[in-house]
Amino acid sequence: MKLLEQILSEMGADTLKSFTVIPRFGGYFRSVKSINEFGENKIVLVLRKEVVTVTGEKLEVGKYFEEDIFIKGEIKEVKIDK
């Protein structure tokens, strides 16, 4: 995980609000305070200052632990709103 944090830091990303999406598999999201909406095609995550909307197909929560969440399924779009 340190390599990912170093890469994100060098790119200017805030590693506390980062996420990784793996095509046709799912995604890993950090600093999630709550899940605002949950469905097979849309999951809305609430972070500290942003709302992240994940859309796709066959979405499901794989794990949710200590503000980290793993979402399984075909993620097609990730939208970040403030």
The helices-and-strands tally (H runs, E runs) of the chain is 1, 6
- Cα(30)–Cα(65) distance, integer angstroms: 10
User: In a 10 Å sphere around its CB, with 0-12 CB exposed, 13-18 middle and 19+ buried, how is residue 45 labelled?
Assistant: buried
Indicate the domain borders of the chain: 19-81
4-8, 31-35, 59-63: least confident range: 4-8
pLDDT band at 82; cut points 50, 70, 90: confident
Domain 19-81 = CATH 2.60.40.2000? yes
Whether 29 contacts 71, CB under 8 Å: yes
Of 54, 32, 24, 26, the residue nearest 42 (C-alpha): 54
Confidence of residue 22 (pLDDT cuts 50, 70, 90): confident
